[in-house]
Amino acid sequence: MNLLSWTFLVFAGLSVAVYQALPTPRMRQAALVGATLVWFAFGVWWHALVAIAMATTTWLFGRWMLSRPEEKRGVVLALGVASFVGYFVLFRYLALWTGFDPATGAGLRWWMPNPLLAPLGLSFMMFEGIAHLADLYLGRSEDPGSWWSHIVFNLFYPTRVIGPLRRHEEFTRDINGPTRLDPDDVAWAARRVLLGVAKKALVANPLGAFALFNLHPSLIAAGARVPLLLGAVLYWAYLFFDLSGYSDIVIGLSRLFGVRVPENFNRPYVADNISDYWQRWHISLSAWVRDYVFNPLAIRWRGWNYGAPLAAFSSMVILGLWHGLELRYLIFGVWHGALLGGYMVYRQLFGRKPWAKKLAKSKLWSAAGWCFVVVNAVLTHVLFAVSSAAMFVAWLRAVVGR
C-alpha cells in the first residue's frame, strides 16, 4: 500500500481512530496488530508470517540468553545473530546464488522464496532483532519482553517499510503508556505528515524522474558530461527528499499512536566533515552501525593506535553491503570507510595541534570541508542510481572525459 495513496490515507485514519477509541493497552495493541495484518493483505500476505517468525525468534533467544550464566551468553548471541542473518540470506539471496535470473524469472525452484518479493522491512527487522539481543548481552537491558510485545513491535505498520530503526524497550514503553492525544500532538503530527507528503510528492518524485533521465545508459554511452553531472547532483537531492519525506510521514503517523520514532535526517547538506555527515544522514541506521559494529570493534582494537579508524572503515563496509551484496555497494562502503577512517586518523595525528585548532575555526576551511563532503556524497550515491559498478565506471569516465 503506497504511503501517498488515498487508500493509505483512509486506512491510516481509520486505524488511528479505532486505536484511540479503545480503552485498554492490550485492546489497542490487538487493533494495531490487526490493522497491520490488513495492511499486509494489500501486498503479500505471507510477509506477515515472516515478521511474526522473526519476532518469535527475538523473544526465544532473549529468554534463552537471560537463562544462561553471563559467561555463556556469547554463544546464544552468536546463534541469534546467525538466525537473523539466515532469514536475510534465505529471502534475499538464496535463489540468486542457485541460478535464479530476475530478468527472465528462470531458475526459481518451487521451494525457494522469490527475492523479488522479499519481505517488507526484512533488513530492518534483522537489525532490530540483533540490537535487542546485543542490548541484553551487554547489560543495557534486562527485560527480554513478552512474546506479544515483540509481535506488536514487528507488526507496527508505519515503520515496516523504510524504518527508522527503533528499539524494542522504548517502543514497548510508549505503546503501554497513555494514548490520549492533546490538540498539540495532533497538530504536530499533521504538520509532520504534510511536510513529508510535500517533500515526497512535490520535490522528490519530480527530482527522481529528472535525475534518472539524465543518468540514462544511453547518455552515459554518449559521454554527455553536463546531463550526467546534473543527474548525479539531482539524484542525491532526490534521495534526501525521498527518504526524509517518508521518515516525516512515519514519524508523524507514529505520534498519533503515541509512539515516538527516532529522527532519521538532520540537514545533512550542511555538514562540513564526513563524520558530521554520517551523524546527520540516515541517523537511525548510522547509530545502529555505531552502537553494534563500530563500538565493539573499537573496544576490541583499542590497544592499537589506529584501531578506531579501522573500526570505522569496517563499519562503513558493512553498511555498504547492507544495501546489497554487489560490487557497487562494496565500493560505496570502502569509499566512505576510507573517508571516515582517514578523517579519524587526521584528528588523532593533528587534532590537538595549535595550527589545526586554528584551521578548524576558519570559515574558508569549513567551506572547503563542506565542498568535499558534498562532492563525495554526490559521487558515491551515483552507485545507487546506476545498475552496476561497471556502469558507474562508465559514468565516471564520461564525466572526466576519458
pLDDT (mean) for 121-132: 95
The three grid cell numbers given for residue 44, joined into one nine-digit string: 503479500
Output the CA angle 123-302-73, nearest 5 degrees: 55
What's the rounded Cα separation, in Å, for the pair 72 and 60?
16
- Please classify residue 229 by burial: count the beta carbons closer than 10 Å to its beta carbon, then call 0-12 exposed, 13-18 middle and 19+ buried: middle
Taken as a whole, the chain contains a residue count of 402
Q: Tens digit of pLDDT for each residue in 15-39?
A: 999 999 998 999 999 999 999 999 9
Q: Does pLDDT of 179 surpass 70?
A: no
The pLDDT, as a whole number, for residue 151 is 97
pLDDT at 184 (0 to 100)? 87
pLDDT at residue 402 greater than cutoff 80: no
Is pLDDT larger for residue 271 or for residue 350?
271
Is the pLDDT score of 178 beyond 80? no
Collect all residues with Cβ–Cβ distance below 8 Å to 401 and sequence separation of at least 6: 223, 225
- For residue 107, what pLDDT is reported? 84
Q: Which residues contact 30 (CB under 8 A, 6 or more apart)?
A: none
Q: What is the mean pLDDT of the chain?
A: 93
**What average pLDDT does the segment 359-375 reach?**
93
Q: Where are the alpha helices (DSSP H) in 68-181?
A: 73-92, 94-97, 122-138, 147-154, 168-175
Distance CA 123, CA 323 (A): 9
Residue 5 reports pLDDT greater than 90: no
